[in-house]
Amino acid sequence: MNTIFANYLKRIREGCTELLVPKASFEEKVPPHYPAFFNPLAKLNRDISIYLYKAFLIDKESSAEITFADALGGIGSRGLRVAVEIPRVSQIFINDINESAISISRETAALNSITEKCIFSTMDVCEFLISHNSNPTNKRFSIIDLDPFGSPAPFIDCILRSIQNEGLISITATDTAVLSGKYQKTCLRKYYGVSLNTVYSNETAIRLLLSSIALTAARLGISISPIFVHSNRHYLRVYIKVSFSKTLANKIFSNIGLIEHCFKCRNRKTITSLTSSNLCKICDSKTNIAGQLWIGNLYDKKLISLITQYLVEDRSEKGQLKQIQKIFTTCLDELDDIPYYFSIDEISSILKTTPMKLSHIIEKLSLSGFRASKTSLNPAGFKTNASIVDILSIINN
């Protein structure tokens, strides 16, 4: 280890990749930013990314050059894992304005013998991204990974201008207080929609993020198709395939809508536009509106099915693998066209009873003719097209 930060670093292994990471990241409650930021708890999210990138590239022509951009790379944990674990990617660009982080990233690349595949830079995020659109000697990226500390809103336009047609963008948001209803004016300014603090606020947050990306993309003649979303702790992440098509971009608004929520009776429903009445049809109380937000599907079920096959063959650590398998398996059956969910604790609180098993609730709703499923966004959550009145009546019988 030749880096001047050797005394501050330790060597760990994630997946098949050796990483040099700050020791203090494992010793302090909040990972420090010196000499560079690294979050050990985000390993699950990095593992999920690797599976998604592998599956996404299956349909790419074998002769196509695949480039990957880690736009806010930090110590390069994401980009370097891609370089080691996804040989299909021919060139990896790792950028971070922190020169210390890039120095560590270079050292790690050498440790894994992948230096020849990696290009490092210390540029502003948008300067880095746009340089691969405006410079004739550069090409747009096949995959762009953006993992900012806080909001991704300032960078969305730059990402969309730097991605290839039929490319993949993966974007993180950690400003969950904004997206989950605490700062509604800030949310409206950054994401063009109003958030609400509800049981399903993490899904609302994801759909607000998707909507803001879709609206920005449409302005550029680009259509988006979510292939996967994930929520873990204070961390939201969306994976989106982009298509350069004004015709498809014109149709994107069919996937943008609103959620009407009643905090008194807990009913919720999707609406496509605001009306003069804002009273609950069930209890006649004033309702609240979340959105505008994405009301379309969240998952590419064909791609996720492919990932579940990978997981069966994987020999990684069992604990983490089991958690990842559960997430993807749940997504396969999830009713992702319903933009909200209920929770068993919420229902038991209303009924003042012991929570019923999730599987029993779903079975009862299904036998009564309603659509119902688990959700990957909350282990105690379920999705259904039944109203709150129907849910309570069915569970009580």
Give per-residue pLDDT as tens, 104-115: 999 999 999 999
Q: pLDDT class for 32, splitting at 50, 70, 90?
A: confident
Q: Which residues contact 218 (CB under 8 A, 6 or more apart)?
A: 249, 250, 252, 253
Residue 15 gets which letter from DSSP? T
For range 40-44, the mean pLDDT: 91
pLDDT higher than 90, residue 138? no
Average pLDDT over residues 29-45: 86
pLDDT digits (tens, 9 = 90+) for 216-245: 999 999 999 999 999 987 889 999 999 999
Please report the pLDDT score of residue 1 as a whole number: 57
- DSSP strand E in the chain: where? 9-14, 17-22, 67-70, 91-95, 118-121, 141-146, 163-173, 222-232, 235-244, 256-261, 268-271, 288-294, 342-343, 372-375, 378-384
- What band does 71 get if pLDDT is binned at 50, 70 and 90? very high
d(CA 232, CA 139): 33
Over residues 316-351, the pLDDT tens digits come to 666 678 889 999 999 999 999 999 999 999 999 999
Question: pLDDT of 297-319, one tens digit each?
Answer: 999 999 999 999 888 777 666 66
pTM (2 d.p.) = 0.95
- Please name each of the domains of the chain with its CATH number: 6-47+64-242 (3.40.50.150), 299-396 (3.30.56.70)
* pLDDT digits 0-9 by tens, 174-217: 999 999 999 999 999 999 999 999 999 999 999 999 999 999 99
Cα gap 300→371, rounded to integer Å: 19
Query: Cα separations (Å) of 304 from 89, 301, 375, 378?
Result: 20, 5, 15, 18
Q: What is the pLDDT of residue 137?
A: 55
